[in-house]
Amino acid sequence: MPIRKIRRGLICICVVSTLGIATFGFAGSVSEQEACDILKQAGIQYHLAVYPASPGIYSCAYDSSLSKSDYFVFGLHYRYHAAAGQVGSNLVGWYAVCRRDGRVFEYDIANLRLGSPLARH
């Protein structure tokens, strides 16, 4: 009998631990900085800038007026060292990052709504 009780106790602990891990970190788990980092990684991974060969960096411009409680909206920029007389920055596009799980979506700035999913990180 005592062994059965111990096994049941271990099973209960394992189930509770697993459920805790599965649900921990989903509600509001992605911060603004983490969302920007996720978006910049998506930019690198999917070559969102038109200058993939140039040594540039991505940056995010957070727009709190467009962001909702479930996602952050960013203007994604790509900056590179430009020759004299050229512009070294461009707006790649508008993107939304889900606060819950870090999914990245295109953002339809004209209609102020989520577009197609871009990547899952």
Per-residue confidence (pLDDT) for residue 57, from 0 to 100: 87
Residues 6+ apart with CB under 8 A from 104: 38, 39, 42, 95, 96, 97, 98, 117, 118, 119, 120, 121
Strands in 104-108's sheet, in edge-to-edge order, are 57-62, 71-79, 89-98, 104-108, 113-119
What's the rounded mean pLDDT across residues 95-109? 95
pLDDT given for residue 53 in this prediction: 61
DSSP character for 98? Answer: E
Q: Which domain holds residue 35?
A: 27-119
**Is 17 a domain residue?**
no
Query: Is residue 3 a part of any domain in this protein?
Result: no
In a domain, residue 20? The reply is no
Q: How many structural domains is the chain composed of?
A: 1
In a domain, 15, yes or no: no
Give the C-alpha separation, 90 to 80, whole Å: 9
Model pLDDT, residue 56: 82
The answer as to whether 75 is a domain residue is yes
Asked if residue 2 is part of any domain, the answer here is: no
**Minimum mean pLDDT among 1-5, 7-11, 85-89, 90-94: which range?**
7-11
Residue-level pLDDT at 59: 93
Q: Would you say residue 85 lies in a domain?
A: yes
* Residue 72 belongs to a domain: yes
Determine if the pTM surpasses 0.75.
no
pLDDT at 104 over 70: yes
